[in-house]
Amino acid sequence: MSSSSFIALQEASVKYPTGSGAHKALSNVTLLIEPGEWVTVAGPNGSGKSTLAGVLLGTCRLTAGRMIRKVHIDIRGVLQHPEAQHIGDTPAEELAFALNDRHLSREELKQIQKQALLRVGLELSPETLLNSLSGGQKQLVNIATALATVPDVLVLDEPTAMLDPAAREQVLQVVRQAHLQGTTVVWITHRLEEAVYASRMVAFQKGEVAFDGAPETFFYGDLASDSDSKTPCERIGLDPPFVVQTALHLKQKGHGLTARPLSHDDLAKAVSGLCL
Ligand code: ADP
Ligand code: MG
């Protein structure tokens, strides 16, 4: 662990007890989370992603290896089911609970509650009943609550899984803004379209780290690898996002595409220079 790492997992393993013995959900995982990163964690169902989230958030204990966290850092989580996280009946109650230890006056708390919702684009009264909100709005309340505490690290475990495409994009953009303002992000997903803002990709397979590196390398392979060999993403059996599929297709067709785009904008720029 470098002295600046926020979190270091060293040979970390988690075994769940089962009827017939134990099931290893994480196996010898060594992983560093550095300040300012956006780490996107991908992997098939059952590959250990949620177990990793639990370990990082302190709700799941390691059965071997160790985790070193920088002292005094605050790590907050947002989980897949928006409702699973609610403690109160309204955003105001959620925020009051999260900020409980800040000893704020009534007025200060009211101000922060309003600002926290506006920050994620929610123009609603903090007293609105949570069960009257859509899934996307509930998830934005959860993110607003997590961000109101100004965490050093935000761990999101498939935060868009229960949302429609518009709400998914909104949640992604809100987290992007927080990241641009300095929050370190661990974004867990099996939807690789959501990896556009990743500074690093970590992929899990059967509880082990199968890839840890640059998103471009994950999706397009090493610069040295030829266009017929499988990319790390393909080897792990995950579907590359549309942008990557299109770029790989153009490369295979011999269109001389040298860029390795991750976003629609990058793909458009790369293609505009080609004579198709
Ligand atoms: P993912 O989030 O990638 O789908 P999980 O971390 O939820 O993966 O699960 C990893 C493995 O551990 C899976 O095989 C899953 O069935 C198993 N598992 C998860 N939670 C438990 C549990 N509480 N008890 C027993 N096995 C579990
Ligand atoms: Mg999961």
What is the tally of structural domains in the chain? 3
Does residue 2 share a domain with residue 111?
no
Residue 48 Cβ inside 6 Å of ligand 1? The answer reads yes
Model confidence at 252: pLDDT above 90: no
Alpha helices for the chain (secondary structure H)? 49-57, 91-98, 106-119, 135-148, 165-180, 215-220, 232-235, 242-252, 264-272
And the tokens for 208? Answer: 């082990």
Domain membership flag for residue 155: yes
Does residue 135 share a domain with residue 183?
no
For 208-219, how does the pLDDT look when each residue is reduced to its tens digit (9 = 90+)? Answer: 999 999 999 999
Q: Which helix (H) or strand (E) holds 16?
A: strand 7-18
CATH code for position 186: 3.40.50.300
Give the Å distance between the CA of 265 and the centre of ligand 1: 36
Does residue 173 share a domain with residue 65?
yes
Domain membership flag for residue 83: no
Does residue 155 share a domain with residue 69?
yes
| Residue of the CA atom closest to atom 7 of ligand 1 | 50
Residue 54 Cβ inside 6 Å of ligand 1? The answer reads no
And the tokens for 164? Answer: 């429609």
pLDDT interval class at 88 (50, 70, 90): very high
3 CB-contact burial (10 Å; exposed 0-12 / middle 13-18 / buried 19+): exposed
Q: Are 57 and 49 in contact (CB under 8 A)?
A: no
Q: Which domain holds residue 166?
A: 1-74+151-223
Does residue 231 share a domain with residue 135?
no
Nearest to 60 by CA among 34, 26, 23: 26
pLDDT interval class at 276 (50, 70, 90): low
Does residue 239 share a domain with residue 172?
no
Phi, psi of 211 (to 5 degrees): -155, 140
Amino acid at 38: W
Does residue 67 share a domain with residue 2?
yes
Q: In a 3-state reduction of DSSP, which class is residue 135?
A: helix
Does residue 70 share a domain with residue 19?
yes
Does residue 170 share a domain with residue 68?
yes
Domain membership flag for residue 192: yes
| Residue of the CA atom closest to atom 21 of ligand 1 | 16
What is the pTM for the complete model shown? Answer: 0.93
Give the span between the Cα atoms of 182 and 12, in whole angstroms.
Answer: 27
For 39-53, how does the pLDDT look when each residue is reduced to its tens digit (9 = 90+)? Answer: 999 999 999 999 999
Domain membership flag for residue 79: no
Residue 45 Cβ inside 6 Å of ligand 1? The answer reads yes
Of 190, 205, 223, which marks where a domain is finished? 223
- Report the pLDDT value the prediction gives residue 124, as an integer from 0 to 100: 94
Phi, psi of 124 (to 5 degrees): -140, 160
| CB within 8 Å of 198: residues ≥ 6 apart | 38, 39, 40, 187, 215
